[in-house]
Amino acid sequence: MSKKIINIYIDSFKFGGIEKNLVSILNALDREKYSINMIFLNNAIGDMFYQVEIPLNTILLNQNELSWKNLVIFSNFIKFLPKRIFRKLYRIPDADVEIIFPERLVPIFANKLTAECKCSWNQTFVNPAERLEYFSRSFKTRLIQWWGRYSYKKLDYVICNSMMCKAQYEAIWEGVSNAIAIPGYANSDTICCAAEMVPPEDVTNYTGKKIVFVGRLAWEKNIDLLIDTVKFMSQKSKIPFRCFVIGDGPERKKLDIFSEDNSNLLTLGYMDNPYCVIKNCDCLVSTSRYEGFGLTAVESMLCGCPVASVDNGGISEILDGGIYGVLTAQNPEELANGILELLSDDQKQKELIQKGYQRASEYDIKNAIKKIEYIFQGGK
C-alpha cells in the first residue's frame, strides 16, 4: 500500500506549546502509512525539529531567517501569489492531505492547497468580542475579516485543540461550519519514562516545598503575575518554598533581576526534559494570560504534580472549573493563596494527584491520533 503524502505548512519549529503539540502528533503517526513534507515560511527550524522521530522532507520558502518586518512583507508576497505559480516556483509536491499549522498562516496558504483533505490546526486563545471589535474599526480591518472568512471556507476541516477554541472560532467566523475539536496531545508513555530521570541538583538538594513553572518566557505567559505571586507568597508564607522556572525567552531578564533579591525563585533555563523536575515538585503553576489548550498542565498531572492556574481558557477546561486542580482569578493574591492552601494540605494534594492523573489520561495522544487519522482518511 502506498503511503499517504502530507504537506504541513509552518512558520517555525522553535520551542513552544504549538511546536510541542506538532512533535507529539508527528511522532504518533505510523511512519509506514505517511510521508511528511514540512514547508517552512521562515527558515527558523529550531531544536524542536530534531525531536521528531518520523522522517521528514523539508522545503524552505526562504533560505534566511527573516526579521518580523521582512517576514510580514514576504508573507504578503506569498499570500497573493497565484496557486499554480506558487507551487511550481517552490516545487511543492502534490499531497493527499495538506495542513496549515498554526492558524495564523491560514490567510497566507489556504488558497494554495490542492489536496483532497485540506486542514488547519487552531490552537490559540482568541477573545471573540475583541476580534470582532477589531474587524469593525475600518475598511482595512473589514477587508482582513473578509479575507479570513474566504480563507477558512477553502478548508475541509479546522481542527481545534479544545472545545473552548472551537466555540471561539465559530463565534468569530460566523457561518463557517468546518470546525472539529480534538483535544489532547500528551504522549503519556514518553512523559512518564522521562519523569524517572534524575533532576538537576538545584532541585534535589532543596528540602522545602517545590513549585515549578514551565513555558516560553514571553508576554502571553504573564511573567509579571508569576513574579508578583512569588513576591506575595514570600511575604505571607510560613512554609519554605522555591519556584523553579523552566524555559527561556524575552521576559527572562525580569526573572533574573527578581531572583537576585529573592531566593524563592530560581530560573533553570530551557530543558529538553522538564518532566524529571515536574515529578519532583509539589505544584505546577500557570500564570498565562490565555491558553488555547494547556499541554503543560496535562503533562504535569501525568507526572503526579497538581496544577494551580489562573483562569486562562484552555487550562480552565482541563481543570473543569477547579475539580482537577486549583483555579483562581488572574490575581497574584488569589493565586498565591490557592498555592499556599494546596502546599499546606497533604490530603488535598493526594486527592488532586489521583484525580489529576485520571483526567490527564483522557488527553493521551493515542486517543487524539485515532480521530486525526480518521479525518486524513476522509471521515468527519
Q: What is the DSSP string of 12-71?
A: ---SSHHHHHHHHHHHHS-TTTEEEEEEESSS---GGGGG--S-EEEEESSSSPPPHHHH
**What pLDDT is attached to residue 380?**
54
As beta bridge partners, residue 40 has 10, 60
Shared domain for 84 and 222, answered yes or no, is no
Shared domain for 181 and 192, answered yes or no, is no
Cα separation, 138 vs 122, in Å, equals 26
**What pLDDT is attached to residue 218?**
92
Which secondary-structure segment (H or E) carries 309? Answer: strand 307-310
**What pLDDT is attached to residue 1?**
63
Shared domain for 214 and 349, answered yes or no, is yes
Looking at the structure of the chain, the number of domains it has is: 2
Domain range for 162: 4-185+365-376
Query: If we measure between CA atoms, which residue out of 299, 293, 297, 283 comes closest to residue 350?
Result: 283
Shared domain for 306 and 197, answered yes or no, is yes
The pTM of this model reads 0.83
Half-sphere exposure of 247 toward its Cβ, with a 13 Å CA cutoff? 24
Place of cell 515536574: 278
Query: If we measure between CA atoms, which residue out of 122, 125, 131, 75 comes closest to residue 100?
Result: 122
Shared domain for 56 and 181, answered yes or no, is yes
Q: How far is the CA of 245 from the CAs of 204, 210, 353, in angstroms?
A: 15, 11, 21
**What pLDDT is attached to residue 360?**
95
> Looking only at Cα atoms, what is the longest distance across the chain?
67
Handedness of CA 255, 12, 150, 72 (dihedral sign): positive
Shared domain for 165 and 84, answered yes or no, is yes
In terms of DSSP H, where are the helices of the chain? 17-28, 68-79, 83-89, 106-109, 128-135, 139-153, 163-172, 188-194, 201-204, 223-236, 252-261, 275-279, 295-302, 314-319, 332-343, 346-361, 365-376
Shared domain for 234 and 306, answered yes or no, is yes
For the segment 322-380, what is each residue's pLDDT rounded down to a tens digit?
A: 999 999 999 999 999 999 999 999 999 999 999 999 999 999 998 889 899 988 887 65
Shared domain for 209 and 357, answered yes or no, is yes
Place of cell 489529576: 356
Shared domain for 246 and 276, answered yes or no, is yes
Cα separation, 281 vs 373, in Å, equals 36
Cα separation, 127 vs 111, in Å, equals 26
Shared domain for 155 and 237, answered yes or no, is no
CB 66: neighbour CB atoms within 10 A?
A: 17
Shared domain for 98 and 234, answered yes or no, is no
CB 17 within 8 A of CB 295: yes
What CATH number has the domain bearing residue 312?
A: 3.40.50.2000
**What pLDDT is attached to residue 129?**
85
CB 27: neighbour CB atoms within 10 A?
A: 16
For the segment 280-324, what is each residue's pLDDT rounded down to a tens digit?
A: 999 999 999 888 888 899 999 999 999 999 998 889 999 999 999
Shared domain for 215 and 280, answered yes or no, is yes
Cell of 132: 470582532
Q: Name all contacts of 251-255 with Cβ < 8 Å and 24+ positions apart.
A: 251/217, 251/218, 251/219, 251/221, 251/223, 252/217, 254/223, 254/224, 254/227, 255/217, 255/223, 255/226, 255/227
Residues of the chain with pLDDT under 50: none
